[in-house]
Amino acid sequence: MSLLGPIDDEEVPLRVARSRPVGFPDAQVGSILVVGSGTWIDASGEKRGEHRLVELTVSPDAPGIWAELAVFHDIWGPFDFRGLRHPEVEEQNAPRLAVALQTLDALLGVCAEPGDPTYFGSAQGHGVKAPDELDGRGPDLTDLL
């Protein structure tokens, strides 16, 4: 379902409830995946739009309400996907990710737990863990892009 306004609009839960399949009137929401465009800041300070910069999955199902934030870009850490340092990009964007994760912590009343590591990286605290370096470079991850 497309949202034309903010996700916290009071109409959103009603729209979700009305999207229940007609053949399953007692169906409950298992999880909601929020996908959209985001903004990142390049080395020169210019804002750039990016589809699916992050994804937020929320499960309102009792007994365990949970949320997962997944990131899909190399802007959050010290190296790009080719293994080249990009400190200006990290400095512009990593703090924004940290604030988003801290806000989720506060909203949900629990501290975030890092998810499983992937080929592209792993979480650490409220950010992305720096990979091992070899001769001042990070790993070249372009083979899976």
pTM, to two decimals: 0.83
Of residues 52, 66, 60, the one with CA closest to residue 104: 66
Question: DSSP assignment of 51-67, as one string?
Answer: EEEEEEEEE--SS--EE
* Position 2 confidence tier, pLDDT thresholds 50, 70, 90: confident
Encode pLDDT of 117-131 as tens digits: 999 999 999 999 999
Report the percentage of the chain scoring pLDDT > 70.
99
Domain locations along the chain: 11-144
Encode pLDDT of 39-59 as tens digits: 999 999 999 999 999 998 988
- Mean predicted confidence (pLDDT) in 63-72: 84
